[in-house]
Structure 1
């Protein structure tokens, strides 16, 4: 390969080869965006020049940036580079061109050297192009650039310069566009600056631009601010909307907010540059109830910054199993970037706050014209498929087939690894399709159940009838856990083992002790059937599952055995059902039959939600093992310091060679440590206003009614499950189905995150214990041993007597 790469060719998207600016344009050309024709003189040419002209020796000698710049400008480029430049320029037609710097460390979401490298405009003739190339090379050693690199810990040796040569556009109007408001931080506003002629006059401050602020609201765009600049009213609202629409396309393509340079010539729009916005303020989070409920659900699942591989996994889960099922109601997947994360250099940096900061909530970004017809869609789809029959659907069998395939398949080559990922994630996609087909029926019948109960004046039983006593994969696994606990209680030797040893020690003992052989067989059978429950948070692939970490269910069994607890019964549901069925209306066979039909379908909402979630998470186990196999190979060869570092590699990067992956991991680990100071998710919106009651310590939202008293037991992770004591108040940052057995011991539950439909609230209602959700700070304020009163009806925690 020579030194010239044309925009749109395969190599034009490789940052290490063509630099950040050109790589961005290479992507745009490949995506069919309107970009002026051009080519790139690769970074390898820069290295050749630095060596052939002796600049490398000058750098090593400690020469000043000024001396290095002058040496570059005065050196003669190697003949082969000059010849390739001449041929490429002639192929472009010998037209006037813009010669732009494109460094290998620029225009990323971690750092943007905006305006610090050189650009030479309106260059004519080969000799002037060569001269402009040397000016771009010299700008690597500009005083401000050197200072910028040193402040950000970027090594001078890491930087190589490619040079972008593009056909010069002499614009009628040009400017810059930010696809999110850089002043207010509003993610639903595009800010457009425009002047007559070349945009550099605006950037340099020589002209005051015309300014448009375009807000994306529901089904339309609107201009919310317009200021005329030095050139007068030059950009029509129609062009502002067209630019804002293009900005949305660029956002969707790159997966983050963009700083865009654009030009209009003869009524044709050109994109000159598009790079990530590196600094964007987080606006004050003002949430209505819809946004707050969505935020509670998300914050409960995202308990820490995910690794890049986990970010890819959760994006697919979020897209296929959370958003896609509701597309028929008018919710659009494409509007949620990729998908709810802001990425920096391949690292999930923060949760994308655009979801919460728009005036009308999430819907502002992701609705379509179908939304007004949502009630009709709900009714029609709700009548087409019956939720109570969802387990008979052939798609359920399809998931079992996919699971069997990935259990047998062992990927050996990079391409096979990528195929394995796509194959495994089919289970998540199928789970989403099942939800799309049957959730509408359960939602429709839930609404009808509410009407039935209102007519009978039994509305207070709605939550109990719909969400307790259900037959889900979680409740079945809990019943099996109870059987195992009973097996241990009845065997004096096993009981003694569980009382004396830690869960981690029990893993080894059970596998080697012949006296525990019957239990081991029963436990192994349990793991084969129910081992795909998360060992950590639901979306974190690296945390593993019960089948990967048997010490987790063993820890739960320790608590059940020692505490003599049980994992609930169906009495709460049965008592509520008996009361409702005793109503005179239910004596009429026709009404009774219709009510039972409604109830059975409504109850499937939570069953379908839990079982398809379990189904959607199964790929996590298999992908974790594939990743760890890759990590072990890299670790054994000395490329990385721990096999777990492999989770810094994203899904699409598993095809890369081991040296490249090792370099990616090294770079991302550095960024990971820098991001540690930045909270991944801000849960401050969950903090509730305090009440006038002096005894109230914590305020949240009601999750399960009733009042419970006891000593606080703060449990932050599954590693602390053995702390739980019978009768204690369970205080947790979040809960997942893995936490369910703890509810058997608790007299009340208080959680930092979540809402009435979160796991903790649903399980608490099933156990008949009070729960306060979404407190935002319970694990910080409440301390182990404090005696408190949990009022799940009012959503408060008071000091105990």
Structure 2
């Protein structure tokens, strides 16, 4: 260390987490791999603060000399490579491959000093400037420089751990050349090519390289798992040893373009996705703020396999990654077909014939990740379950308290403090509660329903798990519709109704969209619509309760030995269901609180509603004085509007998906899209199959609604058909003779509320809105989960 005490240079082994932020993509990646024990040639990073203008500071040069001496160990013949490491270089967004200068085989101090100057100056070149603008990166970015011991390679190459064109993670694609690899990286030579298929490593390529392929394969898999994303790896073979020269994310697999707000997780790999469950919770295209909220409160806290998330954003719409579940169950010895059958009641029924990829990683590696990374999440979920009763009182009080405090905040610093000290801790606690007791209810009820179906059949089993309210506690999902009835009868005031249910909406999955409590005319509209019908909501509930009691008595008579134990399980399921629906409601209430907070941010910053087009990190940066992201808002709004114009995407998507190509295809399917297969999955245009959501059989005329705002089109006695429904739709249910949805499962909102009201429902059909048209006459068999077309409109 020099007398100035400034650190200008760090060797790979000592570069710490804070210094890695200033070491550039290449420098930080090499240090990470070196420290993890991968065979990276010795080297060090010259940090950006080592430069004064275009020259190296004298104190910095003293530190460079010390590091050179350390590597040389008295051998002056050792040669070095001098390479760029700009702060945006080798990132997921931009590789900058071949853009900056590289100098190889320099050995003397004088030549090294010249090489440093040449590489550092290259940041100002025209080609770097043009590339930076194309990628939306500040061309005046800072640069670190990597100095690394040269490897006298006999073979040099590049390996993509996933196919960079298709995203197929089971196929590694590589090439190599003899000698040094710089010309290969810059595209100056025609290389030899090869592939390695996963998971069992099937090599295809020149026979001369086969003897090295196994070593490269094993190291590359380890690097990808360690760094948590498919990698573009530069490597070399010298004296029979494999050296890792660089590793960076494959830029073609990046899902997002921050400047425009585009996000497409189907680009990250070949996976199968579903909008089931997710599409019910968030039925709209979501803004950047909402997506960043899901990332922080779901993906980041539930990451089990590094870089592999169970929730994704496909062009503004939220999907669950079915491949994630297939991979976890595969470790337990279950094949994809067995897995999708087991999770069907939660994530829907996967179409037969669709490609179902799983991650091609060794089972033991995944098992280790599960054992290590699931423990913190399981602990938090357990704590949330333990504290549930206490939190049932706490959650509403906190939300209402924050709503009173938020309008009083008047400065940027107060907003930052309120977010960090109040909103942020609460939003994580709420998510753990959703993942703990709420998820417990879903799995418990699903298992019980399957057990009851085997004993008594679908219809009676479905009726037995209805009647979830009790005398003291109304099921929260029924609250909005029952509340209107009680408001009309004078049992509730308008203010009481809005206090209990005004935060619930069909659009509650996106923070940018208003809630009913914000519309002074909303309650009166609902009262008017209700009075137009002849529906008696309490009679519907009472009739279903009587059906339930009849089935319970029959169950006791027919299965006396099993009845006591199973009825106790049913009561437990009812308790869990009420807890689950309460948590959903309070989560929605807190989301409304966050919405009001962000509107206050918009008011104080002058951004207004545009604030929702910033991510969480970006709005906090703006409050701290960093306004770079504001320039992206207009383009992000354009992207958002473009996505909104399209019909909701297919319920299942396998492989890479381009929504514009799909939307322009006159033969597009709403049920599935499979880029990995040209085979067309046939479907019956006269019979639609789904889940039994609510038992009963009825005939009627179809009314397809795009959203709940079209509810005034639904005539009493018509069959309501929609892509998905959530609690915001339940006010329409009493008018419907039956309900049919593309998205859903037996534990979805449509199914739960339909069962409580005794309305036949078939959910999770995948293709009802594609097959049916308004005016069609259909037979809905909610018991069997089948819809038959009787007459076409």
Structure 1-normalised TM-score? 0.70
Deviation for aligned residue 1:24: 5.6
Structure 2 residue ranges without an equivalent (≥5): 72-78, 255-264, 328-334, 337-355, 368-382, 654-669, 673-680
Q: 2:612 — aligned with what? A: 647
Q: 2:164 — aligned with what? A: 182
Q: 2:232 — aligned with what? A: 259
Q: 1:58 — aligned with what? A: none
Residues 1:744 and 2:744 aligned together: no
Deviation for aligned residue 1:633: 1.6
CA shift digits 1:612-650 (9 cap, x unpaired): 333444432232222222222211xxxxxx323323443
1:86 to 61, 79, 86: 61
SS at match of 2:163: coil
Q: 2:252 — aligned with what? A: 278
Residues 1:100 and 2:72 aligned together: no
Residues 1:613 and 2:584 aligned together: yes
- Decide whether the 8 Å contact of 2:84 with 2:100 is kept in 1: yes
Structure 2-normalised TM-score? 0.71
SS at match of 1:754: coil
Distance 1:104 1:482, change over 3 A: same
CA distance in 2 between counterparts of 1:791 and 1:206 reads 63
Q: 1:543 — aligned with what? A: 513
Aligned pairs (5 A) from 1:574-613: 574-582=546-554, 585=557, 588=560, 591-604=562-575, 606-613=577-584
Deviation for aligned residue 1:736: 0.8
Aligned pairs (5 A) from 1:316-335: 318=298, 333-334=304-305
1:791 to 772, 775, 780: 780
Aligned pairs (5 A) from 1:666-681: 666-667=631-632, 669-670=634-635, 673=638
CA shift digits 1:355-393 (9 cap, x unpaired): 599783587589987999xxxxxxxxxxxxxxxxx9996
Q: 1:240 — aligned with what? A: 217
Deviation for aligned residue 1:464: 1.9
Q: Which moved more, 1:237-246 or 1:736-745?
A: 237-246
Q: 1:122 — aligned with what? A: 105
Distance 1:528 1:419, change over 3 A: same
CA distance in 2 between counterparts of 1:107 and 1:750 reads 49
CA distance in 2 between counterparts of 1:139 and 1:351 reads 44
Q: 1:508 — aligned with what? A: none
SS at match of 1:432: helix
Distance 1:269 1:800, change over 3 A: same
Q: 1:433 — aligned with what? A: 436
- Decide whether the 8 Å contact of 1:709 with 1:787 is kept in 2: no
CA distance in 1 between counterparts of 2:366 and 2:23 reads 44
SS at match of 1:720: helix
2:482 to 479, 484, 498: 479
Deviation for aligned residue 1:226: 0.7
SS at match of 1:296: coil
Q: 1:310 — aligned with what? A: 290
SS at match of 1:419: helix
Deviation for aligned residue 1:739: 0.9
CA distance in 2 between counterparts of 1:342 and 1:394 reads 32
Distance 1:444 1:794, change over 3 A: closer
Q: Which moved more, 1:698-707 or 1:174-183?
A: 698-707
Aligned pair count reads 676
Q: 1:449 — aligned with what? A: 452
Deviation for aligned residue 1:733: 2.7
Distance 1:669 1:259, change over 3 A: farther
- Decide whether the 8 Å contact of 2:697 with 2:779 is kept in 1: yes
Aligned pairs (5 A) from 1:22-101: 22=27, 37-42=43-48, 49=53, 77-78=54-55, 81-83=56-58, 85-94=60-69, 96-101=79-84
CA distance in 2 between counterparts of 1:370 and 1:578 reads 52
CA shift digits 1:647-703 (9 cap, x unpaired): 34434455535365531232365356458767895546552756566x67x776665
Distance 1:24 1:676, change over 3 A: farther
Residues 1:624 and 2:595 aligned together: yes
- Decide whether the 8 Å contact of 2:103 with 2:115 is kept in 1: yes
CA distance in 1 between counterparts of 2:399 and 2:556 reads 54
CA distance in 1 between counterparts of 2:522 and 2:481 reads 13
Structure 1 residue ranges without an equivalent (≥5): 50-76, 216-221, 325-331, 373-389, 489-518, 636-641
Q: 1:569 — aligned with what? A: 541
CA distance in 1 between counterparts of 2:252 and 2:88 reads 14
Aligned pairs (5 A) from 1:283-294: none
* Structure with higher RCO (Cα < 8 A, 6+ apart): 2
Deviation for aligned residue 1:600: 1.7
- Decide whether the 8 Å contact of 2:29 with 2:246 is kept in 1: no
Distance 1:713 1:423, change over 3 A: same
CA shift digits 1:33-76 (9 cap, x unpaired): 8865432453995xx75xxxxxxxxxxxxxxxxxxxxxxxxxxx
Aligned pairs (5 A) from 1:376-775: 394-398=387-391, 400-401=393-394, 404-405=397-398, 407-408=400-401, 412=414, 414-420=416-422, 421-435=424-438, 442=445, 445-453=448-456, 458-470=457-469, 471-487=474-490, 522-538=493-509, 540-543=510-513, 545-548=515-518, 555-567=525-537, 568-582=540-554, 585=557, 588=560, 591-604=562-575, 606-635=577-606, 642-653=607-618, 655-658=620-623, 660-667=625-632, 669-670=634-635, 673=638, 682-683=650-651, 687=671, 691=683, 703-704=693-694, 708=698, 710=700, 712-774=702-764
CA distance in 2 between counterparts of 1:311 and 1:116 reads 33
Distance 1:787 1:441, change over 3 A: closer
CA distance in 2 between counterparts of 1:86 and 1:285 reads 44
RMSD: 4.8
Residues 1:166 and 2:131 aligned together: no
- Decide whether the 8 Å contact of 1:39 with 1:88 is kept in 2: no
Q: Which moved more, 1:736-745 or 1:767-776?
A: 767-776
- Decide whether the 8 Å contact of 1:555 with 1:722 is kept in 2: no
CA distance in 2 between counterparts of 1:574 and 1:774 reads 27
Distance 1:461 1:262, change over 3 A: farther
- Decide whether the 8 Å contact of 2:47 with 2:143 is kept in 1: yes
CA distance in 2 between counterparts of 1:772 and 1:467 reads 15
Distance 1:621 1:282, change over 3 A: closer
CA distance in 2 between counterparts of 1:33 and 1:413 reads 44
Distance 1:660 1:551, change over 3 A: farther
Deviation for aligned residue 1:461: 1.1
CA distance in 2 between counterparts of 1:407 and 1:482 reads 25
Residues 1:200 and 2:182 aligned together: yes
2:276 to 273, 276, 296: 296
- Decide whether the 8 Å contact of 1:179 with 1:247 is kept in 2: yes
Distance 1:617 1:234, change over 3 A: farther
- Decide whether the 8 Å contact of 1:429 with 1:616 is kept in 2: no
- Decide whether the 8 Å contact of 1:649 with 1:661 is kept in 2: no
- Decide whether the 8 Å contact of 2:508 with 2:588 is kept in 1: no
CA distance in 2 between counterparts of 1:366 and 1:601 reads 39
Distance 1:31 1:437, change over 3 A: farther
